[in-house]
Copies of this chain bind each other. A is one copy, B any other.
């Protein structure tokens, strides 16, 4: 249930592609496999990781299994990001302003 699993899950580009795909609309496993450049078992494995991370939920309809994004998982991630962001600003303004680039 740790939300840190969500970061690990989204660390993979293929899983981010799946998330983007599911952001459009819920899809079955086979539909995702058609779009993505990987096999269907690979999609299943990614979906398992995403599900354990709380980022997606699934619902069986007949022999198909439709996956969709879990808004709660995404909002939990955003809350964490907000915490980092606000704390970063605190440490930022307390430091001397000297900027540089690559």
Contacts and interface: CB of A to CB of B under 8 A. Distances in A.
B69 A84 contact: yes
A10 B11 contact: yes
A69 B91 contact: yes
Given A13-B8, A91-B26, A95-B25, A20 B84 contact: yes
A23 B87 CA distance: 5
- With most chain B CB atoms within 10 A of its CB, the pick from A34, A70, A81 is A81
Given A24-B87, A51-B102, A70-B88, 20 more contacts: A4-B13, A4-B16, A7-B16, A8-B13, A10-B10, A11-B11, A19-B84, A23-B87, A23-B91, A25-B94, A26-B99, A57-B99, A57-B100, A66-B99, A69-B92, A71-B89, A74-B81, A75-B85, A78-B82, A78-B85
24 contacts: A4-B13, A7-B10, A8-B13, A20-B84, A22-B88, A22-B91, A23-B91, A24-B87, A25-B95, A25-B100, A31-B102, A34-B102, A51-B102, A59-B100, A68-B88, A68-B91, A68-B92, A69-B88, A69-B92, A70-B88, A74-B84, A74-B88, A75-B85, A78-B85
